[in-house]
Amino acid sequence: MRRVQLACLVAASLTFAACSDARDTSPVATTAAPVIHGTLDTGTTHDTVVYLSFLIDAATGMGGACTGTLIAPNVVATARHCVSNINESVYPPTVGADFVPKNIKVYMHTNPVGTGAFHSSDGYGVTIVHDGATTLENSDFALLVLNKNISTDYSPVRLAAAPTNGERVYVVGYGLTELSTDKTPEPMQRYWRDNLAVSGVGTSSGVGSRELWMGESICQGDSGGPVMDHTTGALLAVTSRGGNGKKGTTTNPSIPCVGSSTQNIFTRVDGFAAMIKSTLATVGRIPWEEGAPKPDEPTTPPPPPPPEKGALGATCASPADCNSGICIGVGGAQLCSQTCDSTTPCPSGYECNSGYCAPASAPPPPPADAGTTPPPAEDGGTGNPDDVNTSSKGGCSIESRSSNDNESGVGFFGLVALVGLGAAARTRRRGA
């Protein structure tokens, strides 16, 4: 078995194309168009398919890129290896810590890069949901809850039944095409390929009970992207891994994705029906199931996501739990706070009570052993309309990397695209 670097495992003479494109700060310009022998997606029909850009290591600027599908206005279905660290030195690859959710940015529409520079992201992650598996095989699926609704359009899902052998489907993604070369920079645009047939469903050699497989279709950068029913457009599976046992070159990185010997593996969403339903319930929604009417919009908006640990408004047991070193009591709860006065007002949604920021309309908060003397409250402060800046660097380019031989390997081209933010080069991890 052979392993392709960056979450691209290769199983018994298969170089799995389920990796995302991995990128670093090296100055090698490369390409990243998606789907093998696909069609450039110039319309809005597939606007529920989105581009994910994520930061893995702030110190080195290493990050990556994947594809995902909106299954609610603020929930993206994608591959687990698009949201968590993985270890490919063993087979099957193991899964480590999740990425920081807010460092996973979401971009909509067919050409998120434009003429070479990313537009502002349409949203970012606040919560990552998965089944907690420690290996990728049969569990390469995750949900990303976003900070806000980014679209009124989202895809139906098939939760009650598995896809069937021979079922006609199409794939969509932002990964490599057969025309990609690492010598000619190419914007990451959305491609799709229709009228494919499901080759097999369920357990077989290298395929798990919650997976399906097909032939030539996807490549690096398509990780997490959808397999959709040709007729209903329902999401059936997400790209996990695949390949043909061959290695890409610097001038033709798509070699592992092309040809009749290519086998690509996808994680089925029906295997995660309970997780999908419970996650959508937390944001006040229900799944749009295949064949059913699109659910009505909720009459009351879902509650905002909880603040990050240690931030203003986060729960705390002592001052040590807060970034500010101040933990106050508010209505029977303990919350992280910060000092305030007429010249240093509280952020929007908070008001100054007794020299400390507390949720608007909360009773005056006594400090919980804050360890500091609060400044006197002057006129109470009225709040600051500016939100805390949670943005991080964006922009990914691709640099090709050589694959390594691994006698045991299944190739996880985790179609993730590891990226050096702001760089022009990247290495791919494909999503098959």
Which tens digit of pLDDT belongs to each residue from 321-344?
Answer: 999 999 999 888 899 999 999 899
Q: Is residue 180 part of a domain?
A: yes
Length of the chain: 432
Helix (H) or strand (E) holding 351: strand 350-353
pLDDT grade, residue 62 (50/70/90)? confident
Higher pLDDT, 45 or 356: 356
Q: Is residue 378 part of a domain?
A: no
The mean pLDDT of the chain is 74
Helix (H) or strand (E) holding 425: strand 425-428
CA distances (Å), origin 310, targets 321, 365, 385: 6, 18, 21
- Region 359-375 average pLDDT: 57
- Span 185-194, pLDDT tens digits: 344 778 878 8
- Span 370-383, pLDDT tens digits: 444 444 444 444 33
Closest to 180 measured CA to CA, from 397, 339, 346, 411? 397
- Region 83-103 average pLDDT: 90
Higher pLDDT, 40 or 209: 209
Beta strand spans in 34-187 (E): 39-40, 49-57, 62-72, 75-78, 84-87, 94-98, 104-107, 123-129, 142-146, 168-173
pLDDT of residue 204: 76
Contacts of 142 (CB under 8 A, 6+ apart): 77, 78, 79, 80, 82, 83, 84, 128, 129, 130
Residue 296 has pLDDT above 70, yes or no: yes
- Exposed, middle or buried, 63 (CB in 10 Å: 0-12/13-18/19+)? buried
**End-to-end CA, the chain:** 17
Give the whole-angstrom CA distance, residue 358 versus residue 322: 14
pLDDT of residue 25: 25
Give the whole-angstrom CA distance, residue 53 versus residue 163: 29
* Cβ pair 337, 324 in contact under 8 A: yes
Strands 39-40 and 191-197: antiparallel
CATH number of residue 174's parent domain: 2.40.10.120
Give the whole-angstrom CA distance, residue 412 versus residue 414: 5
- Span 235-280, pLDDT tens digits: 999 999 876 667 766 666 666 676 666 778 899 999 999 999 999 9
Residue 390 has pLDDT above 60, yes or no: no
pLDDT of residue 59: 79
* Cβ pair 25, 61 in contact under 8 A: yes
Number of domains in the chain: 1
Q: Is residue 318 part of a domain?
A: no
Closest to 19 measured CA to CA, from 177, 218, 197, 193? 218
Contacts of 334 (CB under 8 A, 6+ apart): 315, 316, 317, 327, 328, 368
pLDDT of residue 244: 67
- Span 110-140, pLDDT tens digits: 887 665 556 688 999 999 999 999 998 899 9
Give the dihedral sign, CA 163/169/175/177: positive
Q: Is residue 39 part of a domain?
A: yes
Residue 406 has pLDDT above 80, yes or no: no
Residue with tokens 């009351």: 300
- Exposed, middle or buried, 161 (CB in 10 Å: 0-12/13-18/19+)? exposed
Query: What is the domain extent for residue 132?
Result: 2-293+394-428
Q: Is residue 21 part of a domain?
A: yes
Give the whole-angstrom CA distance, residue 382 versus residue 351: 6
The two three-digit tokens of residue 385, written as one number: 């309309």
Cis peptide before 319 (omega within 30 of 0): no
pTM for the model: 0.67
Q: Is residue 176 part of a domain?
A: yes
Q: Is residue 314 part of a domain?
A: no
pLDDT of residue 90: 85
Q: Is residue 189 part of a domain?
A: yes
